[in-house]
Amino acid sequence: MTNKKKLNSIPLTASLLFFLIFGSCIASAGTETRLIHGERLTSEISFSGNYAFWTESAGNDVHAYDLTTGKRTDISGHAADGQINAHEKTRIKTSTTAFSPSIYNDKIVYADNRNLETNPDVRENDAGNSTVTKPNSINVTPPQAQVADFAAPNNTIVYGFWPSWSYLESYQPDWNTLTHVSYSKWTVNSDGTLTDPANMSNYYVIRNQAHQRGVKVTLCIYSNDPYVMDSVIANHQTDFINNISNSLQMYGADGVNLDLETPTDINSITGTSNVPLFENLMANLHITLKAANPAYHISLDVPWGIKYAATFKNANLTKYTDSVFLMSYDYCNRKTTAPNSPYNSSIRYDAIDSISETSKYFNKSQIILGLPFYGYDYSTDSNQPGANITREQAIFIGTAVNNSQVHGRIWDSDSNTPWYFYKAGDTWHQVWYDDDESLKLKYQYAKSENLGGVGFWALGYERNYSNIWKVFQLDPVADFSASVTSGYTPLSVQFTDLSQHAILRNWNFGDENTSTEQNPLHTYSAAGTYIINLTVSNGNHTASKTATIIVFEENNSSGGTSGSGHRSSSGDSSGSGHSSSSVGGGGGGSPELQSNVQVKELSQAAVINGKSVTFDFPKNVTCVVYVNFDSKKTFGKTTAITEQLKEKSSLVSILPDGEVYRSFNVWVGNGGIATSKNMENPIVCFKVEKSWVKDKDIDKSSITLNRYNDKKWEQFPVSLLGEDNEFLYFTAKTSGFSSFAITGTVKPLPEEIVTKIEIDYPETINNTSSKEPQTEQNEIPSTPGFEIYYGIASLFAVLLYKRK
């Protein structure tokens, strides 16, 4: 019976262990924070900075949630209507039908539609349709130290279509200007299949060249047959979407461009409007592609006269596209001569009108203004604008520019585009085209309206007209890294240029030495704090970035080595020659014996009276994630140093009680800055390896931060901030900054299990009638065989007694 119970307990124990392990795995995956309860959601969430914004689908209330502090703000009333639109540039959309997730840094924001049938938060609207109001949630990954981004990103898109024609095989665009290339074209078939371009070998060459230069490559999906698109939209949506998704993966592309010119208003197969059908197609395409790769870029080509394209303007496509390519060309009616792409005309529809109309249906930040790298050579009955057209022929922009130098360029002041005329035999010709002057006007307008970018049909049409690329050069972004940012003389530093859209560069190392190399190696022979400045240019604009290198005097007792130091980079970037230097609080220093320093990291921040200051250590080379305090004085730009030590600090006499995980120092500025007179509420955020906790069998709740102060150790309780697969993250409010030690207590061993047994002794010698069992005895550790000897001895004693 006992054995059976033991056997039955085995599967019970195994099941319990399984659920404990499985449950802990789920628990460690992240936490959910309820943002909304009992409110009607919209289908999209907007982000601006650290804030998530949403509106209610019924009413005009706007809600904001700070993803950093967890504070929610409600903006009620009609005055709040449309506030989300102010944050379009950083908007990330969700799907109405699938409630798909949006990603914001280390957080996932999504509408939760689980258990809709039993969910009490499902409500009925006036039309009787269910509206999901289950609260949105945030899945928060473990905390990460903030990393300063000193190079302001240039998010302007420069989008070029690359036809698959064989004569472009040797063509090379200005790769420094382009951000996206769309290889054209994959032709749509009526059953949803795609026909590859004829020249696929050139695609792979272009894709590899683009990726080497950081340019994204998309596949241009093309159809100009309304019946084909009617068939796909009505009957083959799933096949069409799957074929696009498979092609992106097969060809290693970064997204898709849909050049569908243009779906009809009424589907010829279903006899119903194409609007809901096309919207459903785009919604499901968005869900499928973003699930496969959230970074896939989805763009849709729309005509300059979008107000005449009911399917594009009436379908709610904003949430399903990253960009819309506004084809701002072919304005001419083909009957009388007119500009191909007018900029701002008083007598005809133009690019500004197209942008204004398209922005009614899409966010301006989504619009890519499409510009022509071609024009038209019209055969006409006179040399005057507005003449009757008898024949037309497309002409490359490079060819038109060259010919205009022969025939005489004329500027049309109404459309702000150039043209010229000539006579071939008895036939007049008018050539209307664009050049760098007219394209620059449209590009500058696109920037002034904060459009998503500009694009061209088509690459290669510019021929040898290289001036065209100067118009669209993106502003350069200066950026670089340094192999070390501190160390002992002589200190050798390898600088690596990480700038974007730069052609020329000039380094100033802060010690009266300069270089124009892209990745120079420089050696500092004297101690000091050096401000390094990199200035880059693309021929039209300049930008700069600075960083600080701290060089210490060589100390033979410190164990420092030449050219060694902290591997990091810090600085500021600017588009106008900005520079910085260490002032006020100074560069900081350390009294620690340097031979005892295992690794160190430096951080700089401005210390200002009445402000909270945080020194982040983003390289994660020490156990310190950041330090923070409220400043009571202004010291300006100040350096903080964290040192992870090999042994206990040379500045302390003994270690604190407990198992020591790490000893480290934190120094802020020069001596005397980090005192109670100058700061309050000092906080240290640190991390502890989970493997140490496990191997040492440490009680996690016993982990403590200890500070050595006034010749004794102070203990400070800690708060568990979060965890990831490798570390536990803690914060502790301390009394200041100096030498620290992280300690923990080993879990106590489990108490020895004592088993009680009952022994039924033989009847007493005097044959008493009492046969009560003896009192329970505690089993004691015994020598093997002791019980046998004891039994034999007892029998022997009985025999001797009977003999007597």
298 contacts 348 by C-beta, under 8 angstroms: no
Helix (H, G, I), strand (E, B), or coil: what is residue 406? helix
Question: Tokens 């020659």 appear where?
Answer: 577
pLDDT at 560 over 60: no
Model confidence pLDDT, tens digit, residues 312-355 = 999 999 999 999 999 999 999 889 999 999 999 999 999 999 99
Q: What is the mean pLDDT of residues 17-22?
A: 42
Q: Where are the alpha helices (DSSP H) in 570-727?
A: 690-695
Q: pLDDT value at position 78?
A: 34
Question: Tokens 């070029």 appear where?
Answer: 160
Q: What is the mean pLDDT of residues 169-190?
A: 94
Choose between 575 and 325: higher pLDDT: 325
Model confidence pLDDT, tens digit, residues 372-430 = 999 999 999 999 999 999 999 999 999 999 999 999 999 999 999 999 999 999 999 99
Least confident of 125-134, 277-286, 473-482, 731-740: 125-134
Q: How far apart are CA 57 and CA 129, in angstroms?
A: 13
Split at pLDDT 50, 70, 90, the class of 793 is low
Q: Following DSSP, what letter does each residue of 294-340 receive, concatenated?
A: TT-EEEEEEETTGGG-HHHHHS--GGG-SEEEEE----S-SSB---S
Choose between 240 and 759: higher pLDDT: 240
Q: How far apart are CA 487 and CA 625, in angstroms?
A: 21
Angle (deg, nearest 10), helices 226-235 and 237-250? 100
Q: pLDDT value at position 539?
A: 74
Q: In terms of CATH, what superfamily is 157-373+434-471?
A: Glycosidases (3.20.20.80)
Q: What is the mean pLDDT of residues 647-668?
A: 93
Q: How far apart are CA 626 and CA 685, in angstroms?
A: 5
* Helix, strand, coil share (%) of the chain residues, nearest 5: 20, 35, 45
Q: Residue 723 phi/psi, 5° resolution?
A: -160, 160
Q: How far apart are CA 331 and CA 586, in angstroms?
A: 63
Nearest C-alpha neighbor of 497 from the set 565, 544, 551:
544
Model confidence pLDDT, tens digit, residues 460-496 = 999 888 788 888 877 788 999 998 888 888 888 999 9
Q: How far apart are CA 598 and CA 654, in angstroms?
A: 19
Q: pLDDT value at position 69?
A: 61
Least confident of 28-42, 136-150, 511-525: 136-150
In the sheet that holds 389-396, the strands lie side by side as 389-396, 374-380, 427-432, 417-424, 410-412
First to last CA, the chain: 45
Most confident of 50-54, 558-562, 796-800: 50-54
| Amino acid occupying residue 491 | L
Most confident of 74-88, 241-255, 494-508, 582-596: 241-255
Choose between 676 and 248: higher pLDDT: 248
Q: Following DSSP, what letter does each residue of 235-293 receive, concatenated?
A: H-HHHHHHHHHHHHHHTT-SEEEEEE----SB-TTT-SBHHHHHHHHHHHHHHHHHHH-
Tokens of 452: 């998503």
pTM for this predicted structure: 0.50
Model confidence pLDDT, tens digit, residues 105-151 = 444 444 443 333 333 332 333 333 333 232 333 333 233 322 222 23
Choose between 28 and 597: higher pLDDT: 597
Give 582-755's CATH code, choosing from 3.30.70, 2.60.220, 1.20.1630, 3.30.530. 2.60.220
Strands 72-75 and 62-66: antiparallel
Split at pLDDT 50, 70, 90, the class of 263 is confident
Query: Residue 288 pairs with which residues in a beta bridge?
Result: none
Least confident of 542-546, 700-704, 775-779: 775-779
Mean pLDDT of the chain: 77
In the sheet that holds 719-723, the strands lie side by side as 612-616, 624-631, 679-689, 727-733, 719-723
Model confidence pLDDT, tens digit, residues 665-699 = 999 886 567 788 889 999 999 999 999 999 999 99
Q: pLDDT value at position 553?
A: 75
Strands 504-508 and 514-515: antiparallel
Q: pLDDT value at position 589?
A: 61
What fold, for 477-581? Answer: Immunoglobulin-like (2.60.40)
Tell me the domain boundaries of the chain: 31-140, 157-373+434-471, 477-581, 582-755, 756-803
588 membership: H or E segment, kind and range: none
Angle at 459 between CA 453 and CA 465, to 5 degrees: 100
| Burial of 225: CB neighbours in 10 Å, binned 0-12, 13-18, 19+ | middle
Question: Tokens 């992870």 appear where?
Answer: 644
Tokens of 543: 């930008």
- For the four alpha carbons of 726, 732, 738 and 742, in that order, the dihedral sign comes to negative
Tokens of 238: 């799933």
The share of the chain scoring above pLDDT 90, in percent, equals 53
How many whole angstroms from its chain centre is CA 596? 38
Q: Residue 340 phi/psi, 5° resolution?
A: -75, -35
Q: How far apart are CA 205 and CA 763, in angstroms?
A: 101
515 contacts 504 by C-beta, under 8 angstroms: no
pLDDT at 580 over 50: no
Q: pLDDT value at position 660?
A: 95
Model confidence pLDDT, tens digit, residues 158-179 = 999 999 998 888 999 989 889 9
Question: Tokens 């198992």 appear where?
Answer: 659
Nearest C-alpha neighbor of 89 from the set 477, 363, 447:
363
Split at pLDDT 50, 70, 90, the class of 638 is confident
Q: What is the mean pLDDT of residues 776-782?
A: 40
pLDDT at 571 over 90: no
Q: How far apart are CA 481 and CA 532, in angstroms?
A: 11
Tokens of 804: 């007597």
Residues, the chain: 804
The per-type count for the chain, helices as H runs and strands as E runs, is 12, 48
pLDDT at 447 over 60: yes
